[in-house]
Amino acid sequence: MVLSWTDDPFDPQYSLSREAFAALASQTDAKGRSIEVIKVPLPGPLFYSHEEANGIESSDGMNRQEGERLSASYANFLMVNGHIFLPLLDSDFDDIAKEILAKALPDYQIVGIPTREVLLGGGNIHCITQQIPA
């Protein structure tokens, strides 16, 4: 199980990451095996720029504000055909996330994809590859 993680006690995700880790680490899978929780750092924090916040018309589902935090996560990757398509979000953390996933999933080839434009819509690679509207 991959879990977004921060060591910054001032980050709002700090306590949420710890609660999630405790909940996951105390569970077992369907065969009674302990769940291995792999911590992957959060990028950033990343925020909407002035141009990004004002570059799209507001709607009921999306009202961007300059300085609002983006919901960036390396856990929003896609696994398919022996590959992991990993969002590249922050040059300070991209290589760390790649290294952690490569170690945890050595049979997969990690392919990094710059996805800030996708992130601006509120999700990332995994989100945009799941459902096809009727």
Give the active site residues. 127
DSSP string, 54-105: HSS---SS----TTPBP---TT--EEETTEEEEEE--TTTHHHHHHHHHHH-
Give 47's DSSP letter.
B
Run of H or E including 119: helix 116-119
Neighbours of 52 (CB within 10 A): 17
